[in-house]
Amino acid sequence: MYNIYEAPFLRELCDTTANMYRLGWDERNGGNISYRLKQEEVAPYLDLSRVLRTLPLDFDAGELAGELFLVTGTTKYFKNVAKCPQNNTGILRVAEGGHTVEILWGYEDGSRPTSELPTHLMNHIVRLRADPDHRVVLHCHPANTVAMTFVHELDDRAFTLTLWRMMTECLVVFPEGVGVLPWMVCGNTEIGAASAEKLRDRRVVIWAAHGIFGAGRDMDEAFGLVETVEKAAEIYNLIGTRPILQSITDAELLRLADAFHLVPRAGYLQA
């Protein structure tokens, strides 16, 4: 077996969590990441037949049976992941039947996966239905996006249009738009199911007064989605109550979509 601490997928998670903490997106123990791993990339580093312990799931994750995930731990600080990944993260497998997960590595101090694991797994299920190459779900608390949810209408279309108009890149990065949820209690299957419903045909969902989920085929895509939304929200907050003298129009957004061969979310732009 190779040294798992040198595994590219673990180093990538360590680098990403450190960067997110540096940016202020994941204060204290806020935020979590789940990274779907391929068996062939894990097998050289880990005995996949050795189960350390099992944990229950309070919903049916049967669609993910046999899937492996690298997941940050509950109550863990992102700033500590890189220096002690074995305590702050773990690798788990969804067991046959879909009602338990098998811990294969990590959580060595007796900890558990993030309390948002139900939301992560529900989101993986719907994103894999939409895109078989999907791999990452990333959750964090970027300040400008959270601030925007206090002063902006919590409507998918309205929120999306505002973000698209803040920065030309936004339509290119997330032409399918963003989903927005009102405030809900976190860490349960209710908010997980509501998030998954939004992510069926999007890769970003925003939780009012809480944070954001980004999904992607790799860590860069998920991170880049959040990064772009947060930059647009920052611009929105910088404008504040000052009158807007010019903005990107619907016609211009449609021209942009045409130039990049994109299809904006149906019904959002007026021709």
Active site residue 41: no
What's residue 233's pLDDT?
A: 98
Q: What is the CATH number of domain 116-271?
A: 3.40.225.10
Give dist(CA 127, CA 216) in Å, integer. Answer: 9
Sheet of 204-207, strand order: 53-56, 100-106, 89-94, 68-72, 32-37, 136-140, 211-216, 204-207, 179-181
pLDDT average, residue stretch 223-249 = 97
Give dist(CA 129, CA 146) in Å, integer. Answer: 29
What's residue 1's pLDDT?
A: 85
DSSP annotation of 98: S
For residue 117, the Cα-to-chain-centroid distance in whole angstroms is 12
Residue 156 pLDDT class (50, 70, 90 cuts): very high
- For the chain, the domains span 1-114, 116-271
Q: List pLDDT tens digits, range 41-92.
A: 999 999 999 999 999 999 999 999 999 999 999 999 999 999 999 999 999 9
The CATH class of the 1-114 domain is alpha beta
Domains 1-114 and 116-271 share a fold: yes
The percent of residues above 70 in pLDDT, for the chain, comes to 100
**Token representation of residue 31:** 């935020």
One of 116, 227, 230, 234 is an active-site residue; which one?
116
What's this model's pTM, rounded to 2 decimal places? Answer: 0.96
Give dist(CA 169, CA 175) in Å, integer. Answer: 10
What's residue 271's pLDDT?
A: 77
